[in-house]
Chains A and B, each alone.
Chain A
Amino acid sequence: MRRPIRWALLATVACVSLTAGAQRPRARTKVRRAKPDSAMTPGMHDMHDMHDMSDMGMPVPMPKGMPMIPGLVGVVPPVTSFLPGAGVDVRRLPSAARTRVVRLGNGDTLDLTAGLVRRTIQGRSFVMYGFNGQVPGPLVRVPQNATITVRFHNRLDQPSAVHWHGVRLDNRSDGVPGLTQDAVAAGKDFVYTVRFPDAGIYWYHPHVREDIQQALGLFGNVRVDSPERDYYSPVNREEMLMLGDLLVNGDTLIPFGKESPTFALMGRVGNVLLVNGEPQYSLRAHQGDVVRFFLTNVSSSRTYNLSFGGAPIKIVASDASRFEREELVPSVVIAPAERYVVEARFARPGRFAVVNAVQSINHYIGEFASEVDTLGIITVDAAPAMPDYGKQFAALRVNRAVSRDVDRYRPYFDRAPDKSLTLTVATSALPLATVQFMNVDTAYFAPIEWVDGMPDMNWLSTGKQVRWILRDDATGKENMDIDWHVARNSMIRVRIFNDPKSFHPMQHPIHLHGQRMLVIARDGVLTDNFAWKDTALIPVGSTVDLLIDAANPGAWMMHCHIAEHLEAGMMAVMHVDQGAPARR
């Protein structure tokens, strides 16, 4: 890591120019404070219309029965459109392959190439991205405490880098351009050294324009295997499910913003839901089978409420550890970047639909509506499970090792917060109709926006107009101006309040790189079943207390994992300073 770090350099994080090979600092090296829209004059609307947006003219698809606000008809986002593979004949690209498992041992090397692929989704072919020609990328399986070398080759049409999400690795390999490395220019390479100290399920993805690169297929899982043979309960089979979505209109992907992301208000919420990159997941099982699902949400913005056709679900683990005790749950709520390990038992033959079932809000008529998307079908035949793990499934395990680990941190649970953040947003130069609507639709805020209830307004908002904010309550500093230094091996209690009175309140999955943390309380209620996390969902209006185990030295990003919110500024850096000895 280069020291001292200059803020101007930090501001380039995840916002490198899309010009191939270029690494220009972010346009706004010092984050500006956007003028509140409540004070906006009609003239700003006119200014908005002055951009050259001839290739952004495709209207965003609206949900059935929901009209586009007349004042927004014909308006387009003030950015140049971008889709990958300009000038490339999609028919000449290799078709994306299914994920392959790569088993690596300590000291092994993986070659990981990001490149263009052809993906055919619902009969339509698109130029998209993949790692090693696969979507999702290779499933890397390593033993706990292994260290591997990853030779990354960028064969995209833009700069990139690879972040090893949730892994407490050495800072220089964290994959954050402008902070831990330079972006890897198109055609160039970079070598990561990745160690895996914690068992569990992790993932890798770019940390450059995630709103584009991750959305187009650059993601993959890492499974770190514990040496304990009974780390998990016995099951009949295991499945890795990476949950994503894609926004299409007819035969075309809705273009991305070249200089700045579109959908900056809510993030891009796709209208085609995908499991492992495919719109129809399928699985065959026997009656009585217990299936362990490793779930990773790789969507830009969507939070899922997942269930398996009424099959009982047992929660086992999350981001960086198992839970203290297993629980039966009605469904799995999983925000972007989170992981959950769950088990489900299919006790009878039949077809079990894997569904995302949520209550959406139609903001125009002020009503809730049930939305159910079927992500796939699990077909269970009448042959009996062999072996039958019904007894083991029924037993809810207590993981005393997790509790013993957490016990060491309980003395810190009642300390006053060391830091506190408020989550909010500032906007400028949004279309007038958007501002008018947002200003009047303030009587109620949903703690979670499960769907995009206002796609027209969302599409027209860009990172030029929307600035999502992490504000340090003690100093008033925001985003990359926040300058936290904490001592290695200290415990940091951070209180995060998601301000419901902002212009557009929304939930934020806050991710901290390179450390692990406990969500110790929500809205004053202590968590009573802990698992170590690296990403915590902060609903609108909620106050969430995190206890960060700051054991890993370096400069680490903390940011919202809604890709467009990240690109719109919602990020800060926490320095864990060297000096204290490693904790035993």
Chain B
Amino acid sequence: MAFAWARCSVLATMLVTTHAGPFDIPLFNTPLAPTAQGEARLVFAHSPFGVAVTADGHARYDVSLRVSGLPVPASLGTYSAFVAWEVSTDLSHWHRLGAVTNGQSTVGQAELDKFLLVITAEPNADVVSHTGPTVLHGTSPSGWLQSFLSHPLFRGLPP
């Protein structure tokens, strides 16, 4: 009981006072859903170490979404729900995160080093593989890592 009380009150306090999380992902809409907008936040999943990683060292993040302006799914075709996916950057691996509605949703855990966050319209909220069109998408912060091998610094040239 004490724990539950403390958790609620602390969260209320901290949500308004902490710095913006470092792992915020802006989401971009597609022409199919021009009014949709939102962002995702990555926070380390629960771990007694404070930093959650898999045994081989991949970071584990809880993904929460704040989305608005999603249209009625049926307006896009034979769809009844929106679903969020963690997608590898080569688009070969799609991992279902969870169903998404306008407002706030916590949708599961991401474990890829670099990934795309994609929200699609789907026939129902429980689909395990994606078939429908993308309405929102974003890139994990690690996706911004750049290659510098072609930079003058690495060719011995003046900057």
Binding site for B on A (CB under 8 A): 67, 69-71, 305, 307, 310, 315, 318, 323, 327, 329-334, 340, 357-359, 361, 363-368, 370-372, 407, 410, 413-414, 416-417, 433, 436-437, 440-441, 443-448, 450, 495, 497, 500, 519-526, 528-529, 531, 536-537, 539-545
- In the A-B complex, the 9 residue pairs with the smallest Cβ-Cβ separation, listed nearest first, are A541-B22, A70-B156, A443-B144, A366-B145, A333-B49, A414-B9, A358-B57, A524-B14, A368-B113
- Known A-B contacts A361-B145, A368-B114, A414-B10; A333 and B151 likewise in contact (beta carbons under 8 Å): no
Establish whether residues B21 and A523, one from each chain, have CB atoms under 8 Å apart when the complex forms.
yes
Q: Does B92 contact A (CB under 8 A)?
A: no
A441 CB contact (under 8 Å) in B10, B21, B46, B148: B148
Establish whether residues A537 and B148, one from each chain, have CB atoms under 8 Å apart when the complex forms.
no
Which residues of chain A have C-beta atoms less than 8 A from B21's C-beta? 523-524, 541
Establish whether residues A331 and B48, one from each chain, have CB atoms under 8 Å apart when the complex forms.
no
Establish whether residues B13 and A416, one from each chain, have CB atoms under 8 Å apart when the complex forms.
yes
Establish whether residues B148 and A437, one from each chain, have CB atoms under 8 Å apart when the complex forms.
yes
Q: Does B131 contact A (CB under 8 A)?
A: no
B93 to chain A, nearest CB (A): 15
Q: Does B11 contact A (CB under 8 A)?
A: yes
Interface core residue of B12, B46, B143, B153 (most chain A CB under 10 Å) = B153
Establish whether residues A407 and B2, one from each chain, have CB atoms under 8 Å apart when the complex forms.
yes
A139 to chain B, nearest CB (A): 24
Per-residue CB contact flags for chain B residues 1-27 toward chain A (1 = under 8 Å, else 0) read 011001101111111011101110000
A525 to chain B, nearest CB (A): 6
Closest to B151 in A: A440
**Complex Cα–Cα for A318 and B50 (A):** 12
Q: Does B107 contact A (CB under 8 A)?
A: no
Since A368-B113, A447-B23, A522-B43 are in contact, a sample of 16 more A-B pairs with Cβ atoms closer than 8 Å, ordered by chain A residue number, is A305-B57, A315-B48, A329-B47, A330-B54, A330-B55, A357-B55, A359-B58, A363-B145, A363-B148, A414-B9, A414-B10, A444-B142, A447-B44, A524-B18, A529-B48, A537-B51
A397 to chain B, nearest CB (A): 14
Closest to B54 in A: A330
Which residues of chain A have C-beta atoms less than 8 A from B54's C-beta? 330-331
Which residues of chain A have C-beta atoms less than 8 A from B18's C-beta? 495, 523-524, 543
A71 CB contact (under 8 Å) in B11, B23, B156: B156
- Known A-B contacts A444-B145, A500-B22, A526-B7; A327 and B48 likewise in contact (beta carbons under 8 Å): yes
For this complex, 8 residue pairs linking A to B, each with C-beta atoms less than 8 Å apart, are A327-B48, A329-B49, A440-B148, A443-B146, A497-B19, A522-B43, A528-B46, A537-B51
**Complex Cα–Cα for A540 and B44 (A):** 12
Establish whether residues A365 and B49, one from each chain, have CB atoms under 8 Å apart when the complex forms.
no
Establish whether residues A413 and B147, one from each chain, have CB atoms under 8 Å apart when the complex forms.
no
- Known A-B contacts A305-B53, A357-B56, A524-B14; A69 and B44 likewise in contact (beta carbons under 8 Å): no
- Known A-B contacts A315-B48, A365-B147, A444-B144; A526 and B6 likewise in contact (beta carbons under 8 Å): yes
Which residues of chain B have C-beta atoms less than 8 A from A526's C-beta? 6-7, 10-11
Q: Does B91 contact A (CB under 8 A)?
A: no
Which residues of chain B have C-beta atoms less than 8 A from A495's C-beta? 18
Tally of A-B residue pairs with Cβ under 8 A?
159
A329 CB contact (under 8 Å) in B48, B144, B156: B48
- Known A-B contacts A70-B154, A413-B6, A433-B153; A370 and B57 likewise in contact (beta carbons under 8 Å): yes
Q: Does B59 contact A (CB under 8 A)?
A: yes
Q: Does B31 contact A (CB under 8 A)?
A: no
Contacting residues of chain B (34-84) with chain A, CB-CB under 8 angstroms: 43-44, 46-51, 53-59
Which residues of chain B have C-beta atoms less than 8 A from A528's C-beta? 3, 7, 46
Which residues of chain A have C-beta atoms less than 8 A from B46's C-beta? 528
Closest to B59 in A: A447
Closest to A499 in B: B19
Establish whether residues A359 and B113, one from each chain, have CB atoms under 8 Å apart when the complex forms.
yes
B51 CB contact (under 8 Å) in A70, A333, A371, A500: A333
**Complex Cα–Cα for A450 and B56 (A):** 12
Establish whether residues A410 and B57, one from each chain, have CB atoms under 8 Å apart when the complex forms.
no
- Known A-B contacts A410-B6, A444-B141; A333 and B47 likewise in contact (beta carbons under 8 Å): yes
Which residues of chain B have C-beta atoms less than 8 A from A539's C-beta? 44, 50-51
**Complex Cα–Cα for A523 and B42 (A):** 10
Which residues of chain A have C-beta atoms less than 8 A from B11's C-beta? 524-526
B23 to chain A, nearest CB (A): 7
Closest to A442 in B: B144
**Complex Cα–Cα for A536 and B49 (A):** 9
B22 CB contact (under 8 Å) in A331, A416, A433, A542: A542
Which residues of chain B have C-beta atoms less than 8 A from A368's C-beta? 113-114, 142, 145
A546 to chain B, nearest CB (A): 11
Interface core residue of A315, A413, A440 (most chain B CB under 10 Å) = A413
Which residues of chain B have C-beta atoms less than 8 A from A366's C-beta? 145-148
**Complex Cα–Cα for A365 and B145 (A):** 8
**Complex Cα–Cα for A266 and B106 (A):** 35
Closest to A531 in B: B48
A511 to chain B, nearest CB (A): 14
**Complex Cα–Cα for A522 and B21 (A):** 10
Which residues of chain A have C-beta atoms less than 8 A from B19's C-beta? 497, 543
Which residues of chain A have C-beta atoms less than 8 A from B148's C-beta? 363-366, 437, 440-441
Interface core residue of A330, A370, A531 (most chain B CB under 10 Å) = A330
Which residues of chain B have C-beta atoms less than 8 A from A332's C-beta? 49
Closest to A443 in B: B144
**Complex Cα–Cα for A523 and B3 (A):** 18
B143 to chain A, nearest CB (A): 8
Which residues of chain A have C-beta atoms less than 8 A from B145's C-beta? 361, 363, 366-368, 443-444
Closest to A537 in B: B50
Establish whether residues A364 and B57, one from each chain, have CB atoms under 8 Å apart when the complex forms.
no
